[in-house]
């Protein structure tokens, strides 16, 4: 069941297979009935153990909570269908505090204490970068649901994958043509002062330059900042577009103060939805956002053309048509990112089945089987949309959504194509020893 903070108690230390399954079902609000899961005969009936590195505390806590909800729903669906290779899946959660040092400790704990088969779920890029060396040293497959270009840059190691969500470099490249053609040519960037923000800092200027636009100012703000008004005078007067991407618990303050600074006379706004994830777009003070645009990975609001797979996914994770928790309109999801947990777990399932995975002794086979994957069709396992996968850089490529704030909701006005975000690999993880 959920604890007082809304996190799901999927498992704890020394959890048995039976209690893990009970906890999972309870986390999804379902009762365990006889025959809850029928597993095929396998060489081992022991559960496959997934170590979930969760941002339960720290600046990523809102994401961590919804990542856990999505993971609970995906694992239930996988177990209901027979598990992986005929074995149930158990999730063991450790809180990394959204801290890179603690993240590395958590990966080590999964490897030596919990002895999990893989580690999964990390979002914030500085935590991924801080944890990746520990995964490599332990030869622990590490499946992150992040976004940063750190994995695809090939600067990490062969055990780190990002197969269920696109990276910032691809996202920016996909959207730059629309920004230049529809929002404006002179752009000021506001971004968080850490690795994720640096990807935006580094990749937006060349992407816009290729479209005849330019970044005229870049403003980095500490992700733990609680007030932002002092930064806004740095925005040049000739700015036509403010491109903003902020993270953490103060995002509502950021957008409110931006509106107070400009009033009704503002440049065009193009934001990554990170600036509003887990935040009600109809909160008082956000009226000035009407008419502005946001990037969304998976749309928060149900769209008229939603596929059957998208509708089923939303029902499984428990979000309503407005992207809030069913029964609690104030509990707004992190819909643009959390789908990556669902899709990554199905990639893990596919790779384990292709590898004939039996246990930790087959981790190298799992790495090679994941690298051999090439595409994921849109459907129940990949409801956000179709994707291709480049095994050399351990990164997937998919569609992006540009949404407009209209009448207190986000309506998708443009979808990019997979090819819009493709770029030449910067290296090749498959040349590294396992």
67 and 141 share a domain? Answer: yes
| Least confident span in 11-20, 64-73, 114-123 | 11-20
Its pTM stands at 0.91
83 and 210 share a domain? Answer: no
Residues contacting 48, CB < 8 A, separation 6+: 83, 84, 85, 87, 88, 89, 90, 117, 352, 357
86 and 112 share a domain? Answer: yes
Residue 65 counted as domain residue: yes
139 and 187 share a domain? Answer: no
Number of domains into which the chain is organized: 2
pLDDT at 3 over 90: no
180 and 275 share a domain? Answer: yes
Q: Which tokens in the block code for residue 237? A: 């007067």
Residue 263 counted as domain residue: yes
> What integer is the mean pLDDT of 125-146?
98
pLDDT at 38 over 50: no
Q: What is the pLDDT of residue 17?
A: 36
Q: What is the pLDDT of residue 105?
A: 98
56 and 146 share a domain? Answer: yes
Tens of pLDDT along 306-337? 999 999 999 999 999 999 999 999 999 999 99
Q: What is the pLDDT of residue 264?
A: 83
Tens of pLDDT along 63-102? 999 999 999 999 999 999 999 999 999 999 999 999 999 9
Buried b or exposed e, range 45-70, using 16+ CB within 10 angstroms? eebbbbbbbbbbbbbbbbbbbbbbbb
Question: Which among 358, 357, 339 has a CA at the least distance from the CA of 396?
Answer: 339
| Residue 59 near residue 224 (C-beta atoms within 8 A) | yes
Residue 311 counted as domain residue: no
Rounded to whole angstroms, how far apart are CA atoms 280 and 15?
Answer: 37
Buried b or exposed e, range 144-174, using 16+ CB within 10 angstroms? bbbbbbbbbbbebbbbbbbbbbbbbbbbbbb
Question: Which among 112, 79, 194 has a CA at the least distance from the CA of 148?
Answer: 194
The residue with greater pLDDT, 298 or 17, is 298
Q: What is the pLDDT of residue 25?
A: 39
Share of the chain above pLDDT 90, in %: 88
> Chain-wide mean pLDDT for the chain?
92
Tens of pLDDT along 197-227? 999 999 999 999 999 999 999 999 998 899 9
Rounded to whole angstroms, how far apart are CA atoms 206 and 77?
Answer: 42
Q: What is the DSSP letter of 111?
A: I
Tens of pLDDT along 240-272? 999 999 998 899 999 999 999 999 899 999 999
Sign of the torsion formed by the C-alpha atoms of 300, 311, 26 and 18:
negative
156 and 198 share a domain? Answer: no
User: What's the CATH code of the domain at 382?
Assistant: 3.40.50.2300
259 and 392 share a domain? Answer: no
Question: Which among 223, 9, 240 has a CA at the least distance from the CA of 123?
Answer: 223
Segments forming the whole domain that contains residue 93: 48-167+339-397+425-431
């Amino acid at each position: 069941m959920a604890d007082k903070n809304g996190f799901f108690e999927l498992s704890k230390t020394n959890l048995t297979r039976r209690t893990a399954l009970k906890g999972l079902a309870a986390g999804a609000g379902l009762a365990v009935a006889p025959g809850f899961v029928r597993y095929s005969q396998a060489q081992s009936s022991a559960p496959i153990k997934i170590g979930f590195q969760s941002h339960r505390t720290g600046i990523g806590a809102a994401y961590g909570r919804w990542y856990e909800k999505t993971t609970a729903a995906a694992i239930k669906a996988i177990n209901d269908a027979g598990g992986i290779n005929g074995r149930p899946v158990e999730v063991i959660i450790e809180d990394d505090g959204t801290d890179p040092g603690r993240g590395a400790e958590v990966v080590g704990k999964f490897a030596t204490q919990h002895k999990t088969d893989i580690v999964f779920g990390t979002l914030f890029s500085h935590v991924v970068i801080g944890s990746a060396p520990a995964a490599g040293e332990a030869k622990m497959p590490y499946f992150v649901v992040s976004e940063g270009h750190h994995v695809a840059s090939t600067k990490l190691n062969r055990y780190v994958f990002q197969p269920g969500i696109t990276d910032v470099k691809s996202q920016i490249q996909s959207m730059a043509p629309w920004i230049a053609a529809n929002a404006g040519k002179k752009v000021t960037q506001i971004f968080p002062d850490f690795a994720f923000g640096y990807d935006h800092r580094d990749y937006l200027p060349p992407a816009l330059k290729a479209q005849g636009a330019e970044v005229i100012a870049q403003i980095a703000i500490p992700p733990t900042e609680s007030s932002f008004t002092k930064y806004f005078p740095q925005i040049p007067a000739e700015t036509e577009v403010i491109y903003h991407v902020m993270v953490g618990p103060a995002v509502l303050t950021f957008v409110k103060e931006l509106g107070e600074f400009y009033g009704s006379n503002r440049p065009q706004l193009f934001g990554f939805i990170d600036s509003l994830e887990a935040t009600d777009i109809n909160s008082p003070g956000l009226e000035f956002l009407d008419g502005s645009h946001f990037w969304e990975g998976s749309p928060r609001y149900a769209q008229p053309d939603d596929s059957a797979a998208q509708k089923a996914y939303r029902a499984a994770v428990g979000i309503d048509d407005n992207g809030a928790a069913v029964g609690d309109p104030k509990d707004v999801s992190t819909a643009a990112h959390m789908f990556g947990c669902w899709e990554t777990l199905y990639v893990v399932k596919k790779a384990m089945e292709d590898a004939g995975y039996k246990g930790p002794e087959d981790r190298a086979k799992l790495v090679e089987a994941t690298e051999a994957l090439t595409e994921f069709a849109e459907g129940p396992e990949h409801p956000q949309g179709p994707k291709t996968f480049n095994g050399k850089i351990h990164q997937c490529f998919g569609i992006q959504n540009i949404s407009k704030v209209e009448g207190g909701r986000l309506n998708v006005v443009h979808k990019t194509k997979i090819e819009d975000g493709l770029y030449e690999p910067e290296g090749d993880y498959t040349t590294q020893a396992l």
